[in-house]
Amino acid sequence: MQLIEKLTILADAAKYDASCASSGAPKRSSKGKDGIGSTNGMGICHSYTPDGRCVALLKVLLTNFCLYDCQYCINRRSSDVPRARFTPEEVVTLTLDFYKRNCISGLFLSSGIIRSADYTMEQLIRVAKLLRQEHQFRGYIHLKTIPDAAPELIAEAGLYADRLSVNIELPTETSLVRLAPEKNVGSIHKAMHNIHLGEREAKEERRAPRFAPAGQSTQMIVGADATDDSTILHNAQSLYHDYRLRRVYYSAFSPIPQSPKTVPFEAPPLLREHRLYQADFLMRGYGFSATELLAGPGNLALDIDPKLAWALANREQFPVDLNRADESLIARVPGIGVLSARRLGALRRERRIRYEDLTRLRCVLEKARPFIITQDYRPPRAEHESVVLRQQLRDTPAQMALW
């Protein structure tokens, strides 16, 4: 089989993994050295596909032959798809060539399970080792970790990879048992735990070997089962807490050809995935807890973003006086982000904040207006009713129609 044909099959097989981040790696440079590749902590999106997703890495499977029969997966053994397998050298050649052309910042390699978990993991490691040792490649490497692989293999993977990830796949154990019978929630957590330990050792002991400096991430498929957003967010929160994950990716279940009857035929609204990412961002960057965002069972609202939803449900915290309030509380105002909050902090050390300043800082005033006080502005009484506000502030139908 021609290389281009393998690439076509194995990129198609890998695209359901949402992660393509190339950020968080330590500073490395090839200036004046043999080999190629650099990282500086910042990710670069080298292209965008028409689905609006970033292309930062060469994201392929080593092979899409697979012994497992995960119902939501296009590569499950019962799926009637063309199959292919790269040699490790072929992946190395493609990575180096695309890298030199500046098409990618590195490699994200995963694989179907062939023969055994250990064997599969060894194959993935072999590619990373070839790149790092034979070719002195200093670009980004993300390796998917096979959960049942031996801990020594995970430790070895951490030597070469910037990021490791184990997919949690589904938000509940019941769903995993039902839809991914060969997978086991216990071994997934154990693998995450091992990666977390490796990271901690590398950080705490000066002479410890390098271990996945860009940390670990995971992916949860949304909409392949009936789990609600509340369960998903609480689950994500404990993953962040227990294993210090850098990112949880939410991937709206994407219908696959010849879909089995156990999974839906329709994709969930992409807007649901979007709201989950917004909520996740509020947990990581703004100090919100899952319970603040969704106290009881249920899903995030689709018509308003989760920050606005929180503000409408917590009117007693508002309006916030921008000339007095803590920056952390200002960042909780809908339409004002962390950066603007910091800039308002800098500005008010020079002079009083006025309404017009928010325009210059490019805050979303329609959203912020009912929740703020400035030197020259107070929200009028009429704006006090949350139900009315929600009517006014919901995302317009025109935007909804995009999805």
Partner 1 sequence: MHSLRFDGTFATWRQAARRALLQGLAPHQLQWLDEEAAPGLFDQPAERAPEPNGRLRVSPELLDLLESAAQYRGDERWSLLYRILWRFVQGERSAVLAGDPDGSELHRRLKAVRREAHHLHAFVRFQPSKAAGAPDFVAWFEPAHDILASASGHFAERLGKHSWLIATSRDGVYWDGQRLQHERRCPAHWQAWAQQPEDDGQALWRAYYGSTFNPARLNRTVMQQHLPLRFWKHLPEGPLIPQLMSEARAGAQRDGQALVLAGRKGKRIARINEGDASRPPSDDVSGSDAPDLPR
Selected from 26, 100, 313, 376, the binder of partner 1 by CB under 8 A is: 100
Chain positions 338 to 397 lying near partner 1, rule: CB under 8 A, are: 343-344, 346-347, 350-351, 353, 357, 360-361
Nearer to partner 1, 68 or 286 (CB): 68
CA dihedral 169, 171, 173, 174 (to 10 degrees): -110
Whichever of 53 and 200 has its CB closer to partner 1, that residue is: 53
Give the integer Cα–Cα distance in Å for 198 and 192. Answer: 10
Which amino acid is present at 401?
A
Give the residue with the Cβ less far from partner 1, 151 or 345.
Answer: 345
* Cβ proximity to partner 1, 127 vs 312, nearer residue: 127
Among the candidate windows 111-119, 168-176, 187-195, 235-243, which touches partner 1 by CB under 8 A? 111-119
Question: What does DSSP assign to residue 156?
Answer: H
Contact 165, 217 (CB under 8 A): yes
In the complex with partner 1, the residue whose CB is nearer, 261 or 381, is 261
Q: How far is CA 84 from the centre of its chain?
A: 27
Please confirm whether the linkage preceding 26 is cis (ω < 30° from 0): no
**Strand 47-48, strand 54-55: pairing:** antiparallel
Judging by DSSP bridges, how do beta strands 372-373 and 140-144 pair with one another?
Answer: unpaired
* Strand (E) or helix (H) holding 257: none
- Residues 241-280 as x/- pattern, contact with partner 1 by CB under 8 A: -----------x-xxxx-x-------x--x----------
Report if residue 97 touches partner 1, rule: CB under 8 A. yes
Half-sphere exposure of 26 toward its Cβ, with a 13 Å CA cutoff? 8
Extract the tokens encoding 293. Answer: 């965002």
Choosing from 19, 23, 24, 67, the residue that interacts with partner 1 (CB under 8 A) is 67
Rank residues 123 and 235 by Cβ distance to partner 1 and give the closer one.
123
Give dist(CA 368, CA 160) in Å, integer: 46
Binding-site member from 61, 70, 73, 84 for partner 1 (CB under 8 A): 84
- Site stretch for partner 1 (CB under 8 A), options 65-73, 156-164, 293-301, 323-331: 65-73
Span 172-231, contacts to partner 1 by CB under 8 A: none
Of 268, 224, 215, 211, which is closest to residue 244 (Cα–Cα)?
215
Residue 50 or 380 having the CB closest to partner 1: 50
Cα 187 to Cα 65: distance, rounded to the nearest angstrom: 22
Q: How far is the CB of 197 from partner 1 (least distance, A)?
A: 30
Element spanning 96, H or E: helix 88-100
Query: Which residue in the set 26, 41, 115, 209 belongs to the binding site for partner 1 (CB under 8 A)?
Result: 115
Q: What number of chain residues touch partner 1 (CB under 8 A)?
A: 85
Extended beta strands in 115-175, E state: 140-144, 163-165
CB of 73 to partner 1, least distance (A): 12
Q: Residue 85 or residue 198: which is nearer to partner 1 going by CB?
A: 85
